[in-house]
Amino acid sequence: MTIDESAPHRPLVYAHRGASAAFAEHTRAAYLQALADGADGVECDVHLTRDQHAVLLHDANLDRTSDGTGPVADRTLEELRLLDFSSWKGVRIPEEYGARSEQFLTLKELLDILRGAGRPVGLAIELKHPSPYQLKLEDRVLDVLRSDGWDPLTSTVDNIRVTFMSFSPDSVKHLLHTVPAEFICQLVDEIDVDEVREELGLGALTGSAVANVMKAAQLEGERILDDCEVRLAGPGIDYVRLHARTVQRWLESGRRFRVWTVDSERDVALCQGLGIHEITTNMPARVLAQL
């Protein structure tokens, strides 16, 4: 199983948390819609439950995307199954995409959905940090993949080509012990201290401390890409705009680029013009139509 990556006539399109403009992110409906839209691959974020199941959620807390509250890591998988992860979007889910109680997914369940695509498909797994379970998160994700027949040398499971991503340089370095560098993506973003404080609702001192830790991770991530320790570079679209010279240098050094989150026509055109290899978007059908 291969996804043709040699001089693509267009960037590959990855559905960000599934087709998350159409349905609630990370749900069965969002991923089934992404496949129906023709996405080349899908992206997911992974956390561990209290009983060490790898589940698909972006936030460390349940409040934004469910009717629950508190840390994901404090709940068992059985407890999470009782929550509603789709109604907040306010969109009716077609019957063929499953009941409301079937929308919450484990990593294993996403693999089963992607097997049903009937074609080669990419899976980009983001390891979310900081995690209370630290690097056990990476080990557990690899265990899940191995139990499903994952081949580390080709990073494939049946028709699925798996790549790994993280903003955490420690996560990336840990993965390099097991996963070939060509399948690992170092994510980078532009860190703004004031924005971090505002988004997290932190005071000046605490917000600055958190932002400084994030900035240190950004600088180490940039070093990893400068030194070509991994093949995949994963900057946000804002980073691409702000750091044109750095992006060009990484492109010229042979880094393969996966840029997120690219939804506007202008940003899609920018990525295509730069020769970006992969675009991650909330709207795969619209982006594919433009490309």
| Domains of the chain (ranges, CATH numbers) | 23-135 (3.20.20.190), 180-291 (no CATH)
Residue 8 is predicted with a pLDDT of: 52
| pLDDT at residue number 206 | 81
Contact present, 138 and 125 (Cβ < 8 Å): no
Q: For position 7, what pLDDT does the model report?
A: 42
Which pair of tokens denotes residue 6? Answer: 């040699």
CA distance linking residue 71 with residue 211, whole number of Å? 21
Kindly name the residue from 47, 58, 174, 277 that is annotated as catalytic.
Answer: 58
CA angle 115, 121, 126 (to 5 degrees): 95
Q: How confident is the prediction along the chain (291 residues), in pLDDT tens digits per residue?
A: 555 554 458 999 999 999 999 999 999 999 999 999 999 999 999 999 999 999 999 999 999 999 999 999 999 999 999 999 999 999 999 999 999 999 999 999 999 999 999 999 999 999 999 999 999 999 999 999 999 999 999 999 999 999 999 999 999 999 999 999 999 999 999 887 777 777 777 777 787 888 888 889 999 999 999 999 999 999 999 999 999 999 999 999 999 999 999 999 999 999 999 999 999 999 999 999 999
- Cα gap 26→42, rounded to integer Å: 10
- Going 144 to 146 to 151 to 153, the CA torsion angle's sign is positive
Residue 63, both tokens:
């409040």
Per-residue b or e along 104-137, where b marks 16 or more CB atoms closer than 10 Å to that residue's CB:
bbbbeebbebbeebeebbbbbbbbbbebebebeb
Could you confirm whether 16 is annotated as catalytic? yes
Catalytic member of 16, 26, 47, 129: 16
Query: Among this protein's residues, is 58 annotated catalytic?
Result: yes
Question: Given this model, what pLDDT does residue 93 score?
Answer: 97
